[in-house]
Structure 1
Amino acid sequence: MSRMMFLNTTASDIPAARTFFTGLGFEFNETFSDENTLCLIINDLTFAMLMTPARFRDFITGGITDTAKEREVLIAVSADSRDAVDVMADKALATGGSAWMDPQDHGFMYGRSFRDLDGHVWEVTWMDQSAVNG
C-alpha cells in the first residue's frame, strides 16, 4: 500500500511562502490553500501543509518550536542529479532562504541544505541509485 504523507508546519507569511516555493519549482493544491494555509505539492502522495501559527495551533497542543534556536524536523527532498541539488539550493538562497550546514558529498550521495523563510531546514539530496542497488 502506498500511503499519503502530510507534513504540517508553520509559515508566518503565506504569500511570501508561496513566492519562495514557487521560485524553487513547487506547485500547490489550491483546494487546500487559503489565506491561512498553503498546500505545497511534493509529489502525488506527499504534501507540506504550511500554516500560519494561529491556524497551526488549531491542530496541536503545546508550543511551536522556535526555529531560530532549535530543529523540530529536517525536511529532505530528492533531486534528479547533483546539478539539480545545486540549482534548488542556490535558488533558495537567492529568494530569501539562508544557508544551513556545509554541503555533504559522499560520492554516491550529495546534498545541500537551506533554511526557508521561517527557519525550517530543507535538505536537497541526490543519490546514485546504481551504487545503492548494486
Structure 2
Amino acid sequence: MSTKIFVNLPVKDLARSRDFFTKLGYSFNPEFTDENAACLVISDDIFAMLLVEPFFKTFTKKEIADTATSAETIIALSADSREQVDELVDRALASGGRPSMEPQDHGFMYGRSFQDPDGHEWEVMWMDMSAMREAAQAQQG
C-alpha cells in the first residue's frame, strides 16, 4: 500500500507562498492548485496543501494558530547531505524565510530550521545512517 501525505497549511498570501517555495526549488501540482489552494510537491508521496485562510477554515471548527506566538506543527524534511541542508535553509532565508532554531550538529546528524513567510516551522535534517548504526552497536557492547 502506498500512502500519500497531504499536510494542510493556512496561508495569508497564496502568491507570496508559491513564490517562496518556488525559489526553494519546489513545484506545484496544477491539478490541485487554484485561487484558494496550491499543492506543493515535496516528493512523489508527500505534499503540502497551502490553503488561503478562509478556505482552510472550511475544513476545521478550530481557530487558526497564530504562528507569531504558537507552533501548530514542525514539518521535518530529510536531506541527502549536510551541504544539502545548508543549501536549502540558506535559500529559504534568502527568499524571505526567517531563522527558527539554532543549527543542531550531533556528528552523525545535522539539522537546521526556518520559518516560511506565514511562520510555519520547517526543519531540514541529514543523518549518516552508518555512523548512527555504529554508535548504537558500540553502546550495546
Structure 1 length as normaliser, TM-score? 0.96
Partners of 1:74 and 1:81 lie apart in 2 by: 20
Q: Which has the larger radius of gyration?
A: 2
Structure 2 gap segments, 5+ residues each: 135-141
Structure 1 unaligned segments of length 5 or more: list them. none
SS of residue matched to 2:63: coil
User: CA RMSD of the aligned region, Å?
Assistant: 1.0
* Residue 80 (structure 1) shift: 1.1
Give the distance between the partners of 1:48 and 1:133, measured in 2 at CA: 31
Q: Structure 1 residue 53 and structure 2 residue 53: aligned? A: yes
**Residue of structure 1 equivalent to 2:23:** 23
Residue correspondence of structure 1 range 48-127 to structure 2 within 5 A: 48-127=48-127
Structure that is richer in helix per residue: 2
Q: How big is the shift at 1:132? A: 3.3
**CA–CA separation in structure 2 for the residues paired with 1:105 and 1:48:** 27
Residue deviations 1:15-36, cap 9 Å, x none?
1111100111111111000111
Segments ≥4 residues shifted beyond 3 Å: none
Per-residue displacement from partner, 1:80-109 (whole Å, max 9, x unpaired)? 110110011111110100001100001011
| Structure 2 residue matching 1:58: 3-state secondary structure | helix
Q: Aligned partners of 1:23 and 1:112: how far apart in 2?
A: 18
Query: Quick check: 35-44 or 124-133, which moved more?
Result: 124-133
2:9 equivalent in structure 1: 9
Between the two proteins, what is the percent identity of the paired residues? Answer: 54
Measured after TM superposition, the shift of residue 11 of structure 1 is 1.3
2:43 paired with 1:43 = yes
How many residue pairs get matched? Answer: 134
In 1, Cα distance between equivalents of 2:12 and 2:21:
14
Paired letter, 1:51: L
Q: CA deviation at 1:133?
A: 4.3
Query: Offset at 1:62?
Result: 1.5
Shift of residue 131 of structure 1? 2.2
Offset of 1:42 from its aligned partner?
Answer: 1.0
Amino acid at match of 1:43: S
Q: Measured at CA, do residues 44 and 133 of structure 1 come closer, stay the same or move farther in structure 2, by a change above 3 Å?
A: farther
